Amino acid sequence: MTDPTAAFFDELDRSGHQPFLEKATGTMRFELTNGTGEAPWLVTIKRGDVAVSRADRKADCIVRTDKTLFDKIVTGKENAMAAVLRGAMDAEGDAELIVLFQRLFPGPPAARRKS
């Protein structure tokens, strides 16, 4: 079985450049809890150029949530901003980064089929 979160970050790293992030520069650390103490995902953005690692270091924006919820976000089954608003996902630091980054998450499966 494929790990949706790992697949999302692997694809993001392979892409190298994201047009939606061309106005962004900074680092985001995603701390996903699942009971195993897994290393965080660190996304470095420099005017749309993106690199992903598992480094545990200081970041401009830190996102914390349950891995199960994040799996649903990266597969389009949940909305990231809605998760923040209901308190299921916490973001601290540079809010502009999370607002720009959330554009990379897929929309609901039904919306993707219509396009």
Per-residue pLDDT in tens (0 to 9) along the chain, 115 residues? 589 999 999 999 999 899 888 989 999 999 998 877 777 999 999 999 999 999 889 999 999 999 999 999 999 999 998 998 999 999 999 988 988 888 898 887 665 455 4
Name the amino acid, one letter, at 106: P
Contact call for residues 43 and 8 (beta carbons, < 8 A): no
Helix or strand run (H / E) with residue 51: strand 49-53
Please state the pTM of the whole predicted model.
0.86
5 neighbors 71 (Cβ within 8 angstroms): yes
Task: Determine the Cα–Cα distance for residues 62 and 66; give it in Å rounded to an integer.
Answer: 13
Q: How far apart are CA 56 and CA 31, in angstroms?
A: 9
Q: What is the pLDDT of residue 28?
A: 95
Under 8 Å between Cβ of 48 and 79: no
Going from the N-terminus, what domains does the chain have, and what CATH number goes with each?
4-104 (3.30.1050.10)
